[in-house]
Structure 1
Amino acid sequence: MINLNRKLCILFCFAALSILITDKAFSAAVEDVKTCYATLNNDELTLGNSVISRTYKWNNGDLISASITDKKDKFTWQLSGSTPDCLFPGTGKAIDGNLQTRFVPSNASTPSYLAVSVTVRFNQLEVRRVFRIYPDCPAIACDFYLRGNIKAQWLTSIKQAGELRNIENNAAAKEGTAQATVMETLALPGKHWRLKAVEFFDITDRNNNLVQDYDQILYRGESKVRGNLLYASEILSDRSIFILKEAPTSDVQLAYPGFDYIAKFGSLQCVGIGLTPADLDSVKWTKCYGVVTGLSAGGEAGRLRALRNYQQRIRIHKPLRDDMVMMNTWGDRAQDSHISEKFILKDLVAAHRLGISHFQIDDGWQSGRSSNSALPGGSLNSIWSNPNYWKPDPQKFPNGLDPIVQLGKKLGIEICLWFNPSQDSSYTHWKDDAAALINLYKHYGICTFKIDGVQIVDKKGEVNFRRTLDSVMTVTNNEVVFNLDVTAGRRNGYHYFNEYGNIFLENRYTDWGNYYPHFTLRNLWQLSRYVPPQNLQIEFLNNSRNTDKYAPNDLLAPAKLSFDYGFALTMMAQPLAWMEATGLPETAFTSANNIKKYRGIQTAIHSGMIFPIGNEPSGTSWTGFQSSIGNKGYLLIIRENNNEKTSWLSTWLPGGRIVTLTSVLGDGKSYVTTTEPSGRLKCQLAVPNSYALYQYEIN
């Protein structure tokens, strides 16, 4: 611990740390992190790396932002705040400010970074901010931890705008101000800023519109906006600042004040830390929601790339572990009625024929019967009253899962499982859940688990649920992948718990007539602007089933499209074959060559930054995606049901450049073209409901 009651300068000491690191694999990571630093001199704290720098008035650890610098653009915003960036209502003056720095080495799932810990005490409440600084990343993340106790109200009822007085003086202008915890404050200079807040929605069993943008300009009165993401862009330049609230979606956050940001002339604030004073522990630190602040230049492309640069730092993407074409049989709605050793062995052979890399046995493999079983009497309550709940059902699997795993290895298919942690008493059985998962890993080598049925109703539940995942990651050397389901309940959304794996996005079924390929494509297309598609499992179905559930004249019905087209819509994400392979018609297996060829380039596609191109999918659009890796990459061009054989698609390619497009999959032909000044690209597909995957190079 370092005493900061005197002037000093703290620099990260890499030479001393390197002596402690014996694994040669860490050496490159150490070199990268050398560009990250934290200095404290003359009561000014500076954090930064090669592309971003942020200075604070130390203020005895109760930091006040002073400036933020874009080193690449060589521009500094001077911030005029006079009060601390963070606010916890009911606290007094800050004392005992303390600074610590440490190098966090990389592991199998997390890259290396510099951790800068600032701890301060307000009477009986301690606040710790841990800044994460990654090399060459234009954003700095901040994780919050609280400890102690405080008698205060952190949420107040907010008057509606119509209940407030007209503004004739500054006092009236301050009416309606919310009392809520504040995690970040930026006192932006000037008045000419355009805001874009982005709200996300999960609970996808009920929601099919997952992204909502709100555009505003700053004004003197407070604007309270919802959303995990806020962009503030200078109207008179192409520079921007973004704030990402690392929390569940706004609808399901804990201790939610009703909004995520407060904006007015000279101030942006990110609010709602995700707990109340009643959730505090006087001894243990409680992790709260976090905030990431970054900057960019270059308009919208720069804004999106800056955010994606940070998002790609959260979890290391390992091709053999994280890239998958997974099959899960639940999509055919037999539920657990088919699950048995005999059925799974047969379905594995068919899945291998199709080109599947991962086969996930959903609910029904275990001895305990869940409430979603096709058989009556199941429950997900009091799971641990049955100590054998998470052992293979001896009736369905008399030999355990060994024959399944052995055949999977022979066929080159990884066996994966479904798991539903026990919700009882805010996940009080987290140790038992972790032990069950670890046992499956050790006994059968299961490395990928779909985590379903999560319901986070309080902070204690969130803490215990995280303990389950952390325990498993520790024992398995961070090699496990969790498919975190966001289809129902109070879960963690798109910007929280991202270090554990990917996101199982949605349940869609032809049985209920709610699966339309363009619905799924639209959800992926909209999310891909702000969420890495590589982190999303996106489904394609057996479109030959339940044709009677759709009107004969429904031109957008699944059966009107080819099986191969349905698969192609998922290629920029993690494709999920939501079906039983043995239920497929013979014609579906003609896609096997394309699926296998895709698996050979899947890692190359996913190594780029992937963003949407063209128009929003509607069933009748020209649309697609671009994965960019320097001056090369991949373009997925999709012609939906329309009469236009050619179209000019907006892309992220530079304007006025010659581009060579080499056909890889689909119906496109290789060609060379020149982009328009705006970057639009001329594309051609001969028939509706077709696609072309190209590898491109900018000449």
Structure 2
Amino acid sequence: MMEVPRLDASLGTARVRTRDDRLFVSTGQVARSWQWTGAGFATREVRELTANRRWQDTAGRCDWQLPQGGEPSAGRLLSLAVDAACDEGFTSEHLCLTAELLYPQDGLLLRWIVWVYPGAPGVRTQLAARLAGSRPARQAGTGPKAAPDARVDRVPGGTAAVRRFFGYYNATQQRNDTHLDLLKEAVNAYPLRGREWCDWASVACLEAAAGGIALVKESHKCVNQSGHATGGFVCDAASGLACTGWGLLPNELSDAEFTKGWATWCLVWNGAEFERQTAFKTFERFRFPVDPARDSSLQANTWGNGDCGEASRRAAAEASVLRELEICAELGIDTLQIDDGWQVPPGHASWQPGEGGWQPHPAGYPQGWSRVRRRAAELGVNLGLWAAAQHITLRELQASREAGGFRQYKLDYAHLKSRRDIDELMGKVRAFISWSGHRVRVNWDVTENAPRCGYFFGREYGSLYLENRKPAYPPGVVYRPHTVLRDLWQAARYLDLRQIQGTIQNVDLVDRARSDAHLHSQAYAVAIALMSLPLFFLETKLYSAAAKAQIKPLLNAYRQHREALSRGLVYPIGSQPNNHSWTGFQCRCAGERRGYLLVFRELHNACARHSVRLYGLPPGRIRLTDLLDGSRRDVMLREHGRIPLRIPQAPGFLFLGYDGAEQKQEAARARREA
């Protein structure tokens, strides 16, 4: 038996300890144990603690392979340590376990990192590597285009498990169609014989009726963009579920420092659909925490009305921005983000700045940012800014913040084709946010097919800018209410919707030959985005007085409840939006029987009454409050969690608060009477 160093550390419900050759970690919700085998650490058991469900294995020698694709040879465990950490404020507090290993025959130092969050439904692992001595003896797949599918994590499975794979598409500019989903999800329910592979997904699950286990690749991979060395998943009847793809190639290793690869989440849950969704979104909140006061801003962006790049860049000039600030203040929009155009002359044909670099162009901003910053402060509106992610320097970002006081930065045009690209951009953004005292955030643009940040990576730095939806041009991105609603509904299935920007457009201006937006109210178009981070992708000064009269009451109601919304988790309810469904969202406030409902009767739906299933509430009486008119009524939540609702006209919506506290009181009374 090869013993490991003695450890025993706790943080809340999280614990890391060792005994003999075993390593045990627990969050209080999930436990995972490894054995030191001399080649590395091999998972022996994963356990869901509420139901004591176990996934066990005694066969593997090591959870990982080396970056060049081979199984590790004999290794030496140089150190094993644990500390409380928060990644410099970029994630929730956790126990951070770090092991350093030397593989002499392979000329490699390896660092294995495990994050254990108190109360989380999973743990996070990550590998980093550094050359030691001479180059590794085994050089398989070292070419710049070779991406060896080396294993980075493995958990036990079973032959009877249902396999579920899912991921999200980028290039949302090409998916503005009823039949082009944002989410791809596939389920294989037949018995597993031998091996099964999946190379397009970001997540793989092994499920049974009573729960499941999943591996999540924390990378920039999308269904339609494999990204840099993201690998895939392998389900094996004998050895379980493995995640491959280090995120770095052998020729990207250095002898000067450790290079980190992609991380992996191991999640478990007890239950079915609701519990599975909850596990993913809950872990995201641990990994990418939300500050409701900082991260729930109502935002407008200057780009969205132009029918060409030149027109949209004119909207970013000072005169236009000053007018926008007035309307943002009138509507109660917190932040105005100045998109592409501020760095070039108004109406310029290109986004690329000249010799002056990334600073306000004097043709559009004769006094720099001073007039805009002063007027924004007078009106109580915050400012945001657009930039090309890899072109603007750290010092230029800092200078813009110092001169303009910007808080939200939309970073566009990223093309992360190598480990160096990835690390340089993430390092720059991390340094910028740290320099600001964590007062600025970024909006990662996922609208194009280039390898950008994807959906599971880089979100400790901010939110996702999901899609361009415009009034008329380009034709492929013309705003259609039901496809925007569909995209947010599918995003909410497994992602934290309160970290995704949902697009709002002025329906009066949308091309009637390409969209039915004009048949929807302005309030409906705004309501679609209220469970996400609402983004007015338009020039607010083009709203009519009648439009503003519709929007103001809705935004007033939203502002009263947005911090509670940001503390909750959002679930899709009803049917998938398709322009004739009853559909919507439920926001559940953690640990409470209270929450919010945003329910839509779509344009072509013929039924004024419908029952919608809610999550996490037992049958009984609940109180509904209309957040727009303040009216209240009690309704009975039926068996299987269904609630009767009525929307008299289509398209229409309800924005409701619900309170199930009476259920608890009724249950207590029933117990006393019994």
**TM-score w.r.t. length of structure 1:** 0.86
1:634 alignment partner AA: Y
Cα deviation per residue 1:148-169 (whole Å; 9 max; x = unaligned)? 143422499xxxxxxxxxxxxx
Match of 1:284 among 239, 257, 261: 257
State percent identity of aligned pairs.
22
* Structure 1: tracts of 5 or more residues without a match: 15-32, 157-177, 424-431, 551-555
Q: Distance in 1 between matches of 2:456 and 2:495?
A: 8
Q: Answer yes or no: is 1:305 the counterpart of 2:278.
A: yes
Shift of 1:571: 0.3
Q: Is the 8 A contact 2:299 2:336 kept in 1?
A: yes
Residue deviations 1:498-538, cap 9 Å, x none?
10000000011121352101100000001101111101011
- Residue of structure 2 equivalent to 1:574: 533
Q: 1:153-202 deviations in whole A, cap 9, x for unaligned?
A: 2499xxxxxxxxxxxxxxxxxxxxx97211111232x4211111102111
User: Given the alignment, which residue of 163, 174, 180 partners 1:195?
Assistant: 163
2:85 to 77, 83, 104: 104
SS across alignment from 1:273: coil
Q: Which residue of 2 aligns with 1:640?
A: 602
Give the structure 1 partner of residue 125 of structure 2. 142
Question: Which amino acid in 1 is paired with 2:13?
Answer: T
Aligned to 2:214: 242
* Aligned 8 A contact 1:252 1:491 in 2: no
User: For the residues of structure 2 that align with 1:625 and 1:64, how far apart are their CA atoms?
Assistant: 41
Q: What is the CA-CA distance between 1:318 and the residue it aligns to?
A: 1.6
Aligned match for 2:545, one of 586, 590, 594: 586
The residue that corresponds to 2:8 in the other structure is 11
Deviation at 1:7, TM superposition (A): 5.3
Q: Is the 8 A contact 1:341 1:404 kept in 2?
A: yes
In structure 2, what is the Cα distance between the partners aligned to 1:364 and 1:395? 11
**1:627 maps to amino acid:** C
Q: Which moved more, 1:215-224 or 1:497-506?
A: 215-224
Say whether 1:224 aligns with 2:186.
no
Kindly provide the CA deviation profile for residues 266-310 of structure 1, in whole angstroms up to 9, marking residues without a partner as x.
421111122211111122111211100011102121111111111
477-486 vs 121-130, which deviates more? 121-130
Partner of 2:632: 670
- 2:432 corresponds to which of 467, 472, 478: 472
Partner of 1:126: 109
Report the counterpart of residue 83 of structure 1 in structure 2: 61
Matched with 1:448 is: 408
Q: How far, CA to CA, are the matches of 1:73 and 1:563 in structure 2?
A: 47
Q: Hey, what's the Cα distance between the residues in 1 that align with 2:90 and 2:270?
A: 30
RMSD: 2.3
Q: Which amino acid aligns with 1:153?
A: A
The answer for the alignment partner of 1:167 in structure 2 is: none
Describe the shift of the 1:143–1:623 C-alpha distance in structure 2 as closer, same or farther (beyond 3 A).
same
1-structure distance, mates of 2:510, 2:610? 34
Which amino acid in structure 2 is aligned with residue 613 of structure 1? I
Contact 2:55/2:156, CA 8 A, preserved across alignment? no
Instruction: Report if the CA contact (8 A) 2:39-2:73 is conserved.
Output: no
- Is the contact between residue 161 and residue 192 of structure 2 (CA under 8 Å) also seen in structure 1? no
Q: Is contact 1:108-1:316 (8 Å) kept?
A: no
Change in Cα spacing, 1:185 to 1:248, as seen in structure 2 (3 Å) is same
Instruction: Spell out the pairing of 1:399-418 with structure 2 (5 A cutoff).
Output: 399-418=367-386
1:55, CA displacement in angstroms?
Answer: 0.7
What residue in structure 2 maps to residue 295 of structure 1? 268
Judge conservation of contact 2:40–2:61 (CA < 8 Å) in 1.
no
2:495 pairs, out of 516, 531, 538, with 531
Q: Does structure 2 retain, via aligned residues, the 8 Å contact 1:187–1:266?
A: yes
Q: Which letter maps to 1:526? A: Q
The answer for the alignment partner of 1:364 in structure 2 is 341
Amino acid at match of 1:187: P
Query: Contact 2:167–2:185 (CA<8 Å) still a contact in 1?
Result: yes
Q: Which residue of 1 aligns with 2:670?
A: none
Contiguous gaps of at least 5 residues in structure 2? 664-674
Alpha-carbon spacing, 1:154–1:297, altered in 2? closer, same or farther (3 Å): farther
Matched AA of 1:533:
L
Q: By how many angstroms is 1:549 displaced? A: 3.7
For the residues of structure 2 that align with 1:418 and 1:222, how far apart are their CA atoms? 46
Contact 2:215 2:266 in 1 (8 A): yes
Per the TM alignment, residue 257 of structure 1 is displaced from its structure 2 partner at its CA by 7.0
Taking structure 1 as reference, are residues 619 and 461 closer, same or farther at Cα in structure 2, changes over 3 Å only?
same
- Return the alpha-carbon distance in structure 1 between the equivalents of residues 109 and 264 of structure 2: 18
Is the 1:660–1:672 Cα contact (8 Å) retained in structure 2? Answer: yes
User: How far off is 1:675 after superposition?
Assistant: 2.0
Shift of 1:35: 2.7
Q: CA deviation at 1:562?
A: 0.5
Return the match for 2:318 from 329, 341, 348: 341
1:139 deviation in Å? 0.3
Once residues 126 and 106 of structure 1 are traced to their aligned partners in structure 2, the CA distance between those partners, rounded to angstroms, is 22
- In 2 relative to 1, CA 674–35 (structure 1 residues): closer, same or farther, beyond 3 Å? same
Amino acid at match of 1:134: Y
Counterpart AA for 1:660? R
Residue 421 of structure 1: how far off its partner (Å): 2.9
Residue 507 of structure 2 aligns to a residue whose secondary structure is: coil
Structure-2 separation of matches of 1:244 and 1:287:
17
CA pair 543-524 structure 1, distance change in 2 beyond 3 A: same
In the TM superposition, what is the alpha-carbon distance from 1:577 to its structure 2 partner? Answer: 0.5
Aligned to 1:604: 564
- 1:689 aligned residue: 651
Match in the other structure for 1:30: none
Q: Give, as a single letter, the amino acid of the residue that structure 1 aligns with 2:155.
A: L
| Equivalence map 1:233-272=2 (5 Å) | 233-234=207-208, 237-250=209-222, 251-256=224-229, 259-272=232-245
Against the structure 1 CA distance between its residues 270 and 155, is the aligned structure 2 distance closer, same or farther, given a 3 Å change threshold? farther
Match of 2:466 among 505, 511, 522: 505
Shift of 1:68: 1.3
Which of 437, 450, 453 is equivalent to 2:397? 437
Which residue of structure 1 aligns with residue 140 of structure 2? 153
1:307 and 1:257 mapped to 2: Cα distance?
Answer: 20
Q: Give 1:95's aligned residue.
A: 75
Q: 1:154 to 1:697 in 2, by over 3 A?
A: farther
Distance, in Å, in 2 between the alignment partners of 1:645 and 1:196 is 35
**Change beyond 3 A, Cα 1:598–1:442:** same
Q: TM-score, normalised by structure 2?
A: 0.89
1:51 corresponds in structure 2 to 29
Q: In the alignment, is the contact (CA less than 8 A) between 1:68 and 1:78 conserved in 2?
A: yes
Cα offset, 1:395, TM superposition: 1.7
Correspondence for 1:212:
184
Answer whether contact 1:486 1:492 (CA < 8 A) is retained. Answer: yes
Over 3 Å counting, the alpha-carbon distance change for 1:229 and 1:567 in structure 2 is: same
Inter-partner Cα distance in structure 2 for 1:144 and 1:130: 6
Give me the whole-angstrom Cα distance separating, in 1, the residues matched to 2:72 and 2:496. 41
Letter in 2 for 1:56: W
**Residue correspondence of structure 1 range 475-494 to structure 2 within 5 A:** 475-488=435-448, 489-494=450-455
Given that 1:154 and 1:181 are in contact with CA atoms closer than 8 Å, whether structure 2 keeps it comes out as no
Cα distance per residue 1:565-614 (max 9 Å; x no partner): 00000000000101111111221111112212211211111211111000
- The 8 Å contact of residues 4 and 22 in structure 2, kept in 1 or not, is answered as no
Aligned equivalents of 1:481, 1:302: Cα separation in 2: 30
2:395 matches 1:395: no
